[in-house]
A and B are shown apart, each in its own frame.
Chain A
Amino acid sequence: MFRNTTAICLHLVGPLRGKKSGASLTRCLHQTLTMAKRLQARRLDGIDHNPWVEFVQLASEEADVVNLGQGFPDFSPPEFAVEAFQHAVSGDFMLNQYTKAFGYPPLTKILANFFGKLLGQEIDPLKNVLVTVGAYGALFTAFQALVDEGDEVIIIEPFFDCYEPMTLMAGGRPVFVSLKPSPTQKGEPDSSSNWQLDPTELASKFTSRTKAFILNTPNNPLGKVFSKEELELVASLCQQHDVVCISDEVYQWMVFDGFQHISIASLPGMWERTLTIGSAGKTFSVTGWKVGWVLGPDSLMKHLRTVHQNSIYHCATQGQAAVAQSFEREQLHFGRPSSYFVQLPQYIQRCRDHMIQSLQSMGFRPVIPQGSYFLITDISDFKNKMPDLPGAADEPYDRRFVKWMIKNKGLVAVPVSIFFSLPHQKFFDHYIRFCFVKDESTLRAMDQKLQKWKAELTP
Chain B
Amino acid sequence: MFLAWERLCTLSCRPKFLKTVWASKILGLSTSAKMSLRFKNAKRIEGLDSNIWIEFTKLAADPSVVNLGQGLPDISPPVYVKEELSKIAAIDNLNQYTRGFGHPSLVKALSCLYEKFYHNKINPNEEILVTVGAYGSLFNAIQGLIDEGDEVIVIVPFFDCYESMVRMAGATPVFVPLRCKPVDGKKCSSSDWTLDPQELASKFNSKTKAIILNTPHNPLGKVYTKEELQVIADLCIKYDTLCISDEVYEWLVYTGNKHFKIATFPGMWERTITIGSAGKTFSVTGWKLGWSIGPKHLIKHLQTVQQNTVYTCATPLQEALAQAFWIDIKRMDDPECYFNSLPKELEVKRDRMVHLLESVGLKSIVPDGGYFIIADVSLLDVDLLDMKDSNEPYDYKFVKWMIKNKVMFIGFCNIVLYVIVDL
Interface, chain A (partner B; CB < 8 A): 5-6, 13, 16-25, 27, 30-44, 47-48, 50, 70, 72-74, 76-77, 82, 85-86, 89-90, 93-99, 133-134, 136-137, 140, 144-149, 162, 165-166, 169-170, 211, 242-244, 273, 281, 285-290, 299-300, 302-303, 305-307, 309-319
Contact = CB atoms under 8 A, between A and B. Distances in A.
A285 B97 CA distance: 11
B63 interface: no
Given A44-B305, A97-B285, 7 more contacts: A34-B240, A35-B271, A140-B310, A145-B42, A313-B133, A316-B287, A316-B317
Contact of A133 (B98, B132, B146, B230): B132
Nearest to B36: A299
A39 B82 contact: no
Contacts of A299: 36, 39
Interface string B83-124: 001100110111111100000000000000000010111000
A388 B260 CA distance: 58
The 8 closest A-B pairs by CB, nearest first: A288-B315, A317-B286, A303-B41, A40-B301, A33-B270, A316-B288, A16-B266, A93-B76
Nearest to A146: B42
A279 to B, nearest CB: 12
B177 interface: no
Nearest to B289: A316
A185 B209 CA distance: 62
Contact of A24 (B120, B169, B287, B296): B120
A287 B39 contact: no
A48 B308 CA distance: 9
A21, A42, A93, A307: most-surrounded residue (chain B CB, <10 A): A21
A311 B301 contact: no
Interface in B146-174: 146-148, 161, 164-165, 168-169
Contact of A288 (B76, B95, B242): B95
A94 B287 CA distance: 11
A303 B283 CA distance: 31
A39 B298 contact: yes
A86 B316 CA distance: 11
Given A16-B266, A31-B297, A97-B73, A302 B49 contact: yes
Interface in B296-342: 296-298, 300-301, 304-305, 307-317
Contacts of B264: 21-22
Contacts of A166: 308
B164 A165 contact: no
B316 A39 contact: no
A285 B209 CA distance: 43
Given A6-B297, A144-B42, A169-B308, A93 B269 contact: no
Contact of A306 (B38, B49, B265): B49
B70 A13 contact: no
B146, B226, B264, B307: most-surrounded residue (chain A CB, <10 A): B307
Contact of B119 (A22, A42, A309): A22
Contacts of B89: 82, 85-86, 89-90
A331 B263 CA distance: 52
A47 B267 contact: no
Interface residues of B, number: 92
B297 A5 contact: yes
B373 to A, nearest CB: 20
B41, B308, B316: most-surrounded residue (chain A CB, <10 A): B308
Contacts of A77: 92, 95
A97 B168 contact: no
A310 B164 contact: yes
Contact of B39 (A21, A47, A76, A146): A146
Nearest to B165: A310
B8 to A, nearest CB: 15
B139 interface: yes
B237 interface: yes
Given A50-B307, A82-B95, A96-B77, A89 B85 contact: yes
Contacts of A34: 240
Contacts of B146: 41
B34 interface: yes
Contact of B45 (A44, A72, A145, A243): A145
A285 B270 CA distance: 41
Contacts of B168: 310
A288 B143 CA distance: 25
A139 B165 CA distance: 19
Interface string B43-79: 1110011010000000000000000001011101100
Contact of B143 (A41, A74, A319): A41
A291 B73 CA distance: 24
B353 interface: no
B385 interface: no
A88 B86 CA distance: 9
B133 A290 contact: no
A28 B288 CA distance: 34
A170 B289 CA distance: 25
A316 B90 CA distance: 18
A93 B77 contact: yes
B287 A96 contact: yes
